[in-house]
């Protein structure tokens, strides 16, 4: 029973950490790609959810891609980059492959194109637009992030498991508390029983000591009686 309880505790702890990591990844992915001039990163790395099939089959809609900040001067034609752009008159982050680079000395401009697109992107970008270079993808993980962004997904994947874990922890603490009280009560009972045994042993020792003293006094009395009888006998013999 104890072994099963330990296994359940370890399994629950692992599950909680997995949930926490997924929640942290979701939160960072959401916050990192908000519509700001800069994109947040951890040690230079940023996770992003792929929304379209423009780069298929390199990566697909629903994948999670990881990009890393880079030295734009080292970028080459064929590299896949993430950059700020305008799509349908709205600010957006896009990840496409570099098709052409024009070096103007102090700066460079880039023409990009999706692997699955027939034509190159309309907007020409510069070094300042580039966020990072594509590193690798996690297939399907973007769908998980999208699911988590919904209230239902967040409730099912994050809230309910964490609530269940904390309820289990509370239950575990209650059980531990009950077992601790039982152990304390048992220890107190054993100490009381030991005290009774010690008291009985002390009384028995006192009784044995009193009996030994009575026997000694009896022996002294018998010895005195014997001497008195011998003395009386000697006196009688002298009179005769």
DSSP designation for 155: I
Residue 217 has pLDDT above 70, yes or no: yes
Residue 40, classed as helix, strand or coil, is coil
Reported as a single tens digit per residue, the pLDDT across 89-123 is 888 899 999 999 998 878 899 999 999 999 999 89
Cβ(99)–Cβ(111) under 8 Å?
yes
> How confident is the model over 80-88, as a mean pLDDT?
90
Q: How far is CA 132 from the centre of its chain?
A: 32
| Ordered strands of the 90-103 beta sheet | 45-49, 64-68, 130-138, 80-87, 90-103, 108-113, 125-126
| d(C-alpha 74, C-alpha 77), whole Å | 10
State the Cα angle at 121 between 118 and 124, rounded to 5°: 150
150 class by beta-carbon count within 10 Å (0-12 exposed, 13-18 middle, 19+ buried)? exposed
Cβ partners under 8 Å of residue 138, min gap 6: 63, 64, 65, 66
Q: Any idea where the domains of the chain sit in the sequence?
A: 2-149, 171-235
> How confident is the model over 199-224, as a mean pLDDT?
78
Reported as a single tens digit per residue, the pLDDT across 26-77 is 665 655 555 455 677 788 888 888 999 999 999 999 999 999 999 999 999 9
| d(C-alpha 203, C-alpha 21), whole Å | 67
Reported as a single tens digit per residue, the pLDDT across 123-134 is 999 999 999 999
| d(C-alpha 21, C-alpha 47), whole Å | 13
| pLDDT band at residue 196 using 50, 70 and 90 as cut-offs | confident
Of 3.30.70.20, 1.10.8.420, 2.10.109.10, 3.10.20.70, the CATH number of 2-149 is: 2.10.109.10
Residue 152 has pLDDT above 60, yes or no: yes
CA-CA-CA-CA torsion sign (76, 77, 81, 85): positive
- Between the alpha carbon of residue 68 and those of residues 102, 121, 131, 155, 206, the distances in Å are 23, 22, 8, 31, 88
């Amino acid at each position: 029973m104890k072994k099963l309880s330990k296994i359940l505790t370890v399994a629950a702890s692992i599950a909680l950490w997995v949930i926490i990591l997924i929640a942290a990844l979701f939160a960072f992915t959401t916050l990192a790609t908000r519509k700001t001039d800069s994109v947040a990163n951890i040690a230079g790395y940023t996770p992003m959810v792929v929304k379209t099939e423009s780069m298929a089959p390199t990566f697909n809609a629903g994948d999670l891609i990881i990009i890393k900040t880079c030295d734009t001067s080292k970028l080459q034609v064929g590299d896949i980059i993430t950059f700020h752009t305008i799509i349908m008159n709205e600010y957006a982050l896009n990840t496409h492959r570099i098709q052409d680079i024009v070096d103007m000395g102090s700066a460079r401009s880039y023409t990009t194109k999706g692997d699955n697109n027939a034509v190159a992107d309309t907007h020409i970008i510069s070094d300042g637009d580039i966020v990072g270079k594509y590193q690798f993808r996690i297939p399907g993980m973007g769908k998980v992030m999208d699911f988590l962004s919904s209230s239902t997904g967040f409730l099912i994947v994050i809230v309910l498991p964490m609530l269940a874990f904390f309820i289990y922890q509370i239950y575990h603490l209650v059980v531990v508390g009950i077992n601790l009280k039982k152990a304390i009560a048992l220890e107190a009972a054993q100490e009381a029983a030991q005290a009774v045994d010690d008291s009985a042993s002390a009384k028995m020792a006192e009784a044995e000591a009193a009996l030994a003293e009575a026997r000694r006094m009896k022996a002294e009395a018998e010895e005195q009686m014997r001497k008195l009888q011998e003395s009386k006998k000697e006196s009688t013999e002298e009179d005769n």
